[in-house]
Amino acid sequence: MEVFKRTAQLNTGAQIPLIGLGTVSADQNEEDITAAVITALQVGYRHFDTASMYKSERPLGKALNTAFQNGLVKREDVFVTTKLWNTEHDDPVTAIKSSLKNLQLDYVDLYLIHWPIKLRKEAPLSGALDRKPTKLTTEVNPYSGPKEEDFLPLDLKSTWQGMEQCLEMGLTKAIGVSNFSSKKIEDLLSHAKIPPAVVQVEMHPQWQQKKLRDYCSKHNIHVSAWSPLGAPNTPWGSNLVMDDPIIHEISQKYGKTRAQVMLRWGVEQGVSVLPKSYNTDRIFSNFQIFDWSLTPEDHDKIGMLKQAKLYRGNAFVNNTTSPYKTVEELWDGEI
Ligand code: A2P
């Protein structure tokens, strides 16, 4: 069998591991995160995804530092991504320095603009992550979102210049964006001195991002998938993706878990997948996706699934102060 590469090359020349551990949950507990990261390192994960907004930078940093000190891994063997939160657009250099302090690192491998949204510095972080799941829904996130007075006019050109400065200062090895439509990436490319290396977006079998992936592949931008399992049992996701009968059928055919099928599908589509788990067995089983494969027929079947975005971003839309009056405007119609 042909050996399946476990990394993809970015337009910077760096390699990004195709599976990374996500670290966002409605129920963040620092000890759980540190323990999960150590387990993941032992299992073989070399890619970790965090954000200043997730409150997981510090426990991730603690775990990595312990692992460096006891020789489990070297800094250059791990790929760490963090993100500029909406309140930090004015000064990405100060923001990344604060993230690096939390992470106890000199540099990250990838720094992303978390959302095409700018909020005033004092806007509270409260929201989706503070809520415990109440009911499962395919509808909008219950996060009520920033208040009207929290929004500031968006100036992505100046934010991107700040991101470029982070790269030039050696604080990150690559820069990119998250939750951008292909239209917004196109706008960015029209003024960027350094093009984005990565776009990280919601992607799973029920939100396949075909248009965006097509655009990114033409422009040599790597795509990373957040919530590649459809975020079961979270306030912003749904069990519907994991419970899809086609995913179930394929998982039975191979004797694999449904999560493994979804993750294998993602990496065979050429993206890196970032499943979140703090459970030892699931951290282990989610990583077992490199010694088997799907057939073109499996891809055809999954390719036919009905599409529905789980996290629509209603929280970032209003009629007065947001740059987006509707969800369609937020995603430039790509929803
Ligand atoms: P847990 O941390 O208890 O494992 P996503 O990565 O799509 O956002 O999904 C994250 C959610 O999926 C978390 O609630 C996580 O819970 C759960 N999860 C992770 N791996 C699996 C798996 N193999 N099977 C079922 N649920 C999983």
Query: What was the pLDDT predicted at 128?
Result: 45
pLDDT by position in tens, the chain (length 335): 567 889 999 999 999 999 999 998 777 789 999 999 999 999 999 999 999 998 899 999 999 999 999 999 999 999 999 999 999 999 999 999 999 999 999 999 999 999 999 999 988 775 544 443 444 344 344 456 788 999 999 999 999 999 999 999 999 999 999 999 999 999 999 999 999 999 999 999 999 999 999 999 999 999 999 999 999 988 778 899 999 999 999 999 999 999 999 999 999 999 999 999 999 999 999 999 999 999 999 999 999 999 999 998 888 999 999 999 999 999 999 99
Query: Which residue in 167, 188, 115 sits closest to 10, CA to CA?
Result: 167
Q: Which atom of ligand 1 is nearest to the CA of 242?
A: 25
Query: What was the pLDDT predicted at 43?
Result: 97
Pocket of ligand 1 contains residue 260 by CB under 6 Å: no
Query: What was the pLDDT predicted at 275?
Result: 98
d(CA 205, CA 217): 19
**What's the alpha-carbon Rg for the chain, to the nearest Å?**
19
Pocket of ligand 1 contains residue 259 by CB under 6 Å: yes
Residue 136 CA, ligand 1 centroid: distance in Å? 14
Query: What was the pLDDT predicted at 80?
Result: 98
Residue 252 CA, ligand 1 centroid: distance in Å? 19
Pocket of ligand 1 contains residue 257 by CB under 6 Å: yes
Residue 230 CA, ligand 1 centroid: distance in Å? 9
| Residues in CB range of 49: below 8 A, 6 or more apart | 20, 21, 22, 23, 81, 200, 224, 226, 274
Strand duo 47-49 + 79-84: pairing = parallel
Residues carrying an active site annotation: 54
d(CA 66, CA 103): 12
Pocket of ligand 1 contains residue 225 by CB under 6 Å: no
Query: What was the pLDDT predicted at 124?
Result: 76
Query: Which residue in 129, 164, 159 sits closest to 26, CA to CA?
Result: 129
Query: Which residue in 11, 73, 13, 12 sits closest to 47, CA to CA?
Result: 73
pTM reported for the whole predicted model: 0.94
Query: What was the pLDDT predicted at 235?
Result: 79
C-alpha distance across the termini of the chain, in Å:
38
Pocket of ligand 1 contains residue 275 by CB under 6 Å: yes
Query: Which residue in 186, 51, 204, 72 sits closest to 128, CA to CA?
Result: 51
177 in helix, strand or coil?
Answer: strand
Q: Take atom 9 of ligand 1 and give the residue whose Cα is closest.
A: 231
Pocket of ligand 1 contains residue 276 by CB under 6 Å: yes
Q: Which of 274, 282, 287, 311 to mutate to test the pocket of ligand 1 (most atoms within 8 A of CB)?
A: 282
Q: Which atom of ligand 1 is nearest to the CA of 277?
A: 2
DSSP string, 256-290: --HHHHHHHHHHHTT-EEE-B---HHHHHHHT--S
d(CA 194, CA 183): 17
Query: What was the pLDDT predicted at 142?
Result: 45
Q: Take atom 15 of ligand 1 and give the residue whose Cα is closest.
A: 277
d(CA 35, CA 22): 14
Pocket of ligand 1 contains residue 29 by CB under 6 Å: no
Query: Which residue in 240, 316, 229, 314 sits closest to 266, CA to CA?
Result: 229
